[in-house]
Amino acid sequence: MSSTLPYAAERLAAVTAVQLAARATRQVQPTQATTLLKTDTSPVTVADYAAQTLVSQHLALSFPDIPLVAEEDAQDLGSSASENLRHQVLQCVNSVLAAPITNDQMLKAIDRGGHAGGPTGKYWVLDPVDGTKGFLRGQQYAICLALVEEGQVKLGILGCPRLPLQGVEEGPTTGSLVAAVQGQGAYQYPLNDEEAEGKQIHCAKPASTADAAFCEGVEAAHSSHDTHAAIAREARVTRAPARLDSQCKYAVVARGDADIYLRIPTRPGYVEKIWDHAAGALIVQEAGGKVCDVDGLPLDFSRGRRLEGNRGIIATASTIHSPILQATQSVLAKI
Ligand SMILES: Nc1ncnc2c1ncn2[C@@H]1O[C@H](COP(=O)(O)O)[C@@H](O)[C@H]1OP(=O)(O)O
Ligand SMILES: [Mg+2]
């Protein structure tokens, strides 16, 4: 892509940062990854901290004035009880850097991620390992990076180390990298091949919901499989869902390997985090798809670190967006 296009420099820095982080996470054996439980009881591993350090550090080199909204902070990692984990993170980080960094630089890089987000200015949005539970199971995860400006997502990158270039099945793979800039379309590359020619990707155009394939998360606690099944029945979707962790779901919808990604909350009041959707939502839209919440509202990334104005997520090929939204609203009205 020509370097004169808008956001070319940001895109290049973001792709390199995600590739670097992916290289580090791939070195961590999921079954042996030292893991902490955060206060919300979700797991965080060597890979999450290493990826956040690397992305934060790399972006700060090229764009020192653009702040970062990122999932992790260094509080737990900095405690004396976490010395072993801290050591492993630093080792992992330095194994992919030409110039090693210190423990203090690592903690500082992680804590750059505390920006509040909001409606004004420019900021990066990072989920260093989205789908940590998938990562620990040896299944899908993604390094997800977006750039938000004046509340709008301008750039989105998904690094998916275990996602083949085609299909939704697991298998030996070099991984996929999917990238989009607002107004410039969505492209896919082999994850760590900087030289490779990108391929523009498009959502499929299923003629009806009966032809459509849907996907959902693996974790039943993160979205309601039962409600998704009821929506599928209501919309006459016949195929069984593919289950994948992380924003890989947006990637497979964007390239037409699935047509629908449903994420209906399991409990009232759950508010999604912006790092779980910013990159993926832009990628689906740039591939020609539609993304909204269960009320049909656009996702509003200008409300801080969470999607305070939205409830659930529906991402689909544009040809079947209306019937899926209608089926969702009809099912939710009965609950
Ligand atoms: N109760 C919940 N409802 C919806 N999403 C959740 C819930 N708890 C955690 N998550 C988010 O689900 C994401 C993974 O999604 P998936 O299951 O599709 O792979 C995690 O990044 C996590 O966000 P976070 O860790 O940012 O709090
Ligand atoms: Mg996440």
Residue 137: alpha-carbon gap to chain centroid: 18
What ipTM goes with this model? 0.97
pLDDT tens for 31-48 read 888 888 988 889 999 999
Identify whether residues 141 and 84 lie together within a single domain: yes
Is 1 within the bounds of a domain?
no
pLDDT tens for 115-136 read 999 999 999 999 999 999 999 9
Decide if 126 contacts 114 (C-beta within 8 A).
Answer: no
Identify whether residues 260 and 325 lie together within a single domain: yes
**Which residue ranges have their beta carbon within 6 Å of ligand 1?**
42, 71, 130-131, 134, 217, 219, 221-223, 245-246, 265-266, 270, 273, 276
188 membership: H or E segment, kind and range: strand 186-190
Is 181 within the bounds of a domain?
yes
Identify whether residues 242 and 323 lie together within a single domain: yes
Number of domains making up the chain: 2
Substitution site in 136, 162, 222, 311 for ligand 1 pocket (most atoms within 8 Å of beta carbon): 222
- Of 201, 225, 245, the last residue of a domain is 201
- Of 201, 221, 237, the last residue of a domain is 201
Identify whether residues 192 and 214 lie together within a single domain: no
| Total residue count of the chain as it appears in this document | 335
Decide if 10 contacts 63 (C-beta within 8 A).
Answer: yes
- Of 178, 201, 224, the last residue of a domain is 201
Identify whether residues 304 and 236 lie together within a single domain: yes
Identify whether residues 91 and 223 lie together within a single domain: no
SS3 category, 287: coil
Count CB neighbours of 3 within 10 A: 8
Identify whether residues 196 and 238 lie together within a single domain: no
Alpha carbon of 222 to ligand 1 centroid (Å): 5
Structure tokens at 321: 């967006």
Is 2 within the bounds of a domain?
no
Q: Any residues with CB less than 8 A from the CB of 30 and at least 6 apart, and which? A: 135, 136, 137, 138
Q: What is the C-alpha separation between 129 and 135, in angstroms, rounded?
A: 8
Task: Locate the ligand 1 atom nearest the alpha carbon of residue 275 and give its number.
Answer: 26
Which residue, judged by its Cα, is nearest atom 8 of ligand 1?
Answer: 222
As annotated, the active-site residues are 48, 132
Q: For the domain that residue 237 is a member of, what is the CATH number?
A: 3.40.190.80
- Structural domain of residue 163, as residue ranges? 8-201
Orientation angle between helical segments 83-94 and 103-111, nearest 10 degrees: 90
Q: For the domain that residue 156 is a member of, what is the CATH number?
A: 3.30.540.10
Which residue, judged by its Cα, is nearest atom 2 of ligand 1?
Answer: 222
Identify whether residues 164 and 293 lie together within a single domain: no
pLDDT (tens digit, 0 to 9) for every residue of the chain, 335 residues total? Answer: 545 899 999 999 999 999 999 999 999 988 888 888 988 889 999 999 999 999 999 999 999 999 999 999 999 898 888 999 999 999 999 999 999 999 999 999 999 999 999 999 999 999 999 999 999 999 999 999 999 999 999 999 999 999 999 999 887 788 999 999 999 999 999 998 877 889 999 999 999 999 999 999 999 999 999 999 999 999 999 999 999 999 999 999 999 999 999 999 999 999 999 999 999 999 999 999 999 999 999 999 999 999 999 999 999 999 999 999 999 999 999 98
Which residue, judged by its Cα, is nearest atom 1 of ligand 1?
Answer: 222
Is 53 within the bounds of a domain?
yes
Q: Any residues with CB less than 8 A from the CB of 290 and at least 6 apart, and which? A: 284, 315, 316, 317, 318, 321
